[in-house]
Amino acid sequence: MVSELTKMKCKPCEGGVPPLKGEDLQKNLEQVEGWEIIEEHHLVKEWKFPDFKTALEFVNNIGEIAEEQGHHPNIDFTWGKVKISFWTHSIGGLSVNDFIMAAKIDDLEI
């Protein structure tokens, strides 16, 4: 799935805007593959890998994107498994930035 979100860049969010809710969340969710919205608060996806090295390479690639975009995920990383969670802390919920990052990470998948 190719998403228009992959062409976008995260914008700094310092609060003062409401988190996405309801239909706005669903419209963004339709543009990413395999991600799940938890309690309209965070966005989560998990990957499985055949070994530690491959999972680590994936995490390192995510780190590069996060630094480039200035928007960083929570990463749960162990042998053969990576779980990524996003939410925009400054607004206490989900923003477009979270979905932009999800789409860019989906582009990494082999």
In a domain, 21, yes or no: no
With CA atoms as reference, report the closest residue to 34 among 43, 25, 22, 21.
43
Instruction: Give a yes or no: residue 25 inside a domain.
Output: no
**Integer angstrom CA distances of residue 57 from 7, 33, 36, 64:** 23, 21, 23, 11
Give, for all 110 residues of the chain, the pLDDT tens digit.
557 899 989 888 777 789 999 999 999 999 999 999 999 999 999 999 999 999 999 999 999 999 999 999 999 999 999 999 999 988 999 999 999 999 999 998 65
In a domain? residue 82:
yes
Determine the distance from the C-alpha atom of residue 4 to the mean position of all C-alpha atoms in its chain, rounded to a whole number: 15
Q: How many domains in the chain?
A: 1
CATH of the domain at 97: 3.30.1360.20
Residue 8 is assigned to a structural domain of this protein:
no
**Residue 4, domain member (yes or no):** no
Distance CA(87)–CA(36), nearest Å, equals: 12
